[in-house]
Structure 1
Amino acid sequence: MVATETAPAAAAASLSVKLMAPHDRARWDAFVRACPDATFFHLSGWQSVIEQSFKLKTWFYYAEQDGQIVGVLPLCEIKSRLFGHALGAMQFCVYGGVAALSDEARTLLDGAADKLARELGVGHLEYRNLVAAHPGDPAWHTKELYVTFRKAISGDDEENMNAIPRKQRAMVRKGIKLGLVGEVDDNVDRMFEAYASSVHRLGTPVFPKKYFALLKETFGDECEVRVITQNGALVAAVLSFYWRDEVVPYYGGGMPIARDVAGNDFMYWNLMQAAAARGARLFDFGRSKLGTGAYDFKKNWGFTAQHLPYEYKLYAASELPDNNPLNPKYQLFIKMWKKLPLPLANLLGPHIVRNLG
């Protein structure tokens, strides 16, 4: 992309906002890794992953002062008849928004997002924050929809096991007794098989296999594929991200047998063990929608739900988006999707899921 510059009069003369070019990626990532507000989902690799996997348009803005990056804001455009026209944090990334070292940089990046949103004529702009960025600002709205589950873990397996509530701990021990084992794959083949089987049973379109392969290729050792087997047979699998001292299990799924052998329960315990041994001290179970089975499952592990203050700024839209599987208008689609043969669902899913971020 060609770099552009704008600088509001109120900003310091040396503070400007630009679009990331290929030669900026190394210093972009160096900033993200050092910035306390940044997350794994601010890394530059997401641009190529999202653009190549889903053919979506992205803008990676950064604020620069005296030749140094002082703030970043990755944005992605969604344009769909079913889900509307929006600009916001990277599609399929649970965290995102401005990560900056100063209020001035944050304001400048907000201004770039506002300008782009108006030029594109979107319905709304969305930031996916861990902490509210505009509290009390009437121009920004929040809604009670998503929570995240984050919990400290130690380097001691016994301590981590004992921190799991009794009923859930019994499920983990069931998987252990039934001979489940975990191993790391260098490709996404088995993980995709387990994931595709799982989401089909939930009535959700599947991501393209290419997407998972690009995640593994782009993020290398920071993206791990862990597979659970029983006597060599595939039971479950999870793709996780490692970030600073955190592990983030992000895409997981199980074969039909997983329910009978506590496959998913064992899988997350096996990941927790491996992550703790690798030095991770925070287990991020990721976001879930209120009132869903995933929400209940994570609570059963003793994790406390933390509200995610996603923020929305309305433009052409008159109300906040409601792209939620609990929304009654999507229930018929979910029921129909569950009835599709799995090979057909895997063929059609990637053409639909690009708008489901």
Structure 2
Amino acid sequence: MPLLARPVAIRRANAADTPRIAAYVAAHVDGTPFHLAEWSTAVATGCGQQDRYLIAEGADGAIAGVLPLTLVSSPLFGTALVSAGFGVDGGVLADDATTAQALADDAWRIAAAEGATSLELRGGPAPDGFHTNSESYLGFVRDLAADDDTQLLAIPRKQRAKVRKSFDKGLTIAVDQDRAAHYRIYAESVRNLGTPVFPKALFAAVLDAFGDAADILTVRHDGAPVASVLSLYWRGTVYPYWGGGTEAARGLRANDAMYYALMNHARTRGCTRFDFGRSKVGTGAAAFKRNWGFEGQPLAYHVRTADGAAPRSVNPLDPTYARKIAAWKKLPLPVANLIGPWLSRGLG
């Protein structure tokens, strides 16, 4: 079909489009925080990657679809165009299948022009020419209860017992926006899991971009931060996105206290849903979320690759990474924090 015969016109978004994009995403049934222009801008700012956000407009100038794109370049993992970069969702969002396909086709042209060997769409419809993977990731979402006591009772018995044990550990919990404490804790947590930490600038950029729609909840013991989580709030759902605990957190049940406290805190902010995020199938993280009573639902991710190119692999469960993960766990924390951000910015 000739370009001029398209039912929509597609172009790169600019800063003036941000409010219009926000309104469109908020009104779309499948909209997520990762579709917002603020997310793409924060990722580009915080990780030094490039934003390629696309919008489709009808003849009347109204937005008919959006596709947030991040050009992720890494000497280790190659170059890929990702929607949405560093998000768990953010695939094509459109009024109809024709517009969705037009956005995906334009994205593929951008990928080819930028030298990207793959285009990854996290969620949304599967455009023609893409392979869909629904076997690798699960999403965990459920409703929040009406009050604190009912929320506690909604947690399965064994996990509820762990939460109750945290009540006697002398923990204090506050939403205090302690960015420095959150980063220290998160960096230690992911090092212990064998993965590199994201750049500190990414967390700062997300918090700055989302303003009141994001916060940090921190758990302390004897005044020392031991667990912390950075969460997003969107259309009545809380997204605990980057959370973790120190080595001491396990014995203190600090992570258990943290997520229960976040559920109650989110309710005070008007939330009715708790999105525990994605986890890879067969991992301890997925089992942890099931222990809280969350049922995993398959997430559909779509990828298109250049002829002869294999999809990039950034899955820690890939056997080729096993030795590297084991070695990373043994790195001194200052070393891991020094080189981790350089590596992780290419994971996208």
TM bracket, shorter-chain basis: over 0.9
- Which amino acid in 1 is paired with 2:32? T
- Which amino acid in 2 is paired with 1:310? Y
Structure 2 CA distance for aligned equivalents of residues 219 and 36 of structure 1: 20
**Paired position in structure 2 for 1:254:** 245
**Paired position in structure 2 for 1:57:** 50
- Deviation of 1:143 after TM superposition, in Å, equals 4.5
- What is the TM-score of this pair, normalised by structure 1? 0.92
- Deviation of 1:59 after TM superposition, in Å, equals 0.5
**Paired position in structure 2 for 1:274:** 265
Residues 36-185 of structure 1 aligned to structure 2 (within 5 Å): 36-65=29-58, 66-129=60-123, 133-134=125-126, 137=128, 139-185=130-176
- Deviation of 1:208 after TM superposition, in Å, equals 1.8
**Paired position in structure 2 for 1:25:** 18
- Secondary structure of the corresponding residue to residue 69 of structure 2: strand
**Paired position in structure 2 for 1:192:** 183
**Paired position in structure 1 for 2:229:** 238
Q: Is the 8 A contact 1:174 1:262 kept in 2?
A: yes
**Paired position in structure 2 for 1:312:** 303
Q: Is the 8 A contact 1:124 1:316 kept in 2?
A: no
Structure 1 CA distance for aligned equivalents of residues 144 and 207 of structure 2: 25
- Which amino acid in 2 is paired with 1:102? D
- Deviation of 1:319 after TM superposition, in Å, equals 3.6
- Which digits, 9 at most, give the CA deviation of each residue in 1:317-356, with x for residues without a partner? 4444332111121122112222221112111111111112
Q: Is the 8 A contact 1:228 1:267 kept in 2?
A: yes
- Secondary structure of the corresponding residue to residue 255 of structure 2: helix
**Identical positions, percent:** 43
Q: Is the 8 A contact 1:206 1:346 kept in 2?
A: yes
- What is the TM-score of this pair, normalised by structure 2? 0.94
Q: Is the 8 A contact 1:149 1:285 kept in 2?
A: yes
Q: Answer with 201-210 or 280-289: which moved more.
A: 201-210
- Which digits, 9 at most, give the CA deviation of each residue in 1:73-121, with x for residues without a partner? 0111223343233212122101011111223321221221122123234
Structure 2 CA distance for aligned equivalents of residues 247 and 143 of structure 1: 24
RMSD: 1.8
Q: Is the 8 A contact 2:276 2:289 kept in 1?
A: yes
Match of 2:280 among 279, 282, 289: 289
Structure 2 CA distance for aligned equivalents of residues 186 and 109 of structure 1: 37
Structure 1 CA distance for aligned equivalents of residues 281 and 104 of structure 2: 29
Q: Is the 8 A contact 2:80 2:116 kept in 1?
A: yes
- Deviation of 1:17 after TM superposition, in Å, equals 0.7
Query: Runs in 1 of length 4+ with deviation above 4 angstroms?
Result: none
The answer to whether residue 6 in structure 2 is matched with residue 11 in structure 1 is yes
- Which amino acid in 2 is paired with 1:349? G
- Which amino acid in 1 is paired with 2:57? E
**Paired position in structure 2 for 1:3:** none
CA gap of 1:326–1:140, structure 2 versus 1, over 3 A, is: closer
- Deviation of 1:134 after TM superposition, in Å, equals 2.2
CA gap of 1:146–1:167, structure 2 versus 1, over 3 A, is: same
- Which amino acid in 2 is paired with 1:161? L
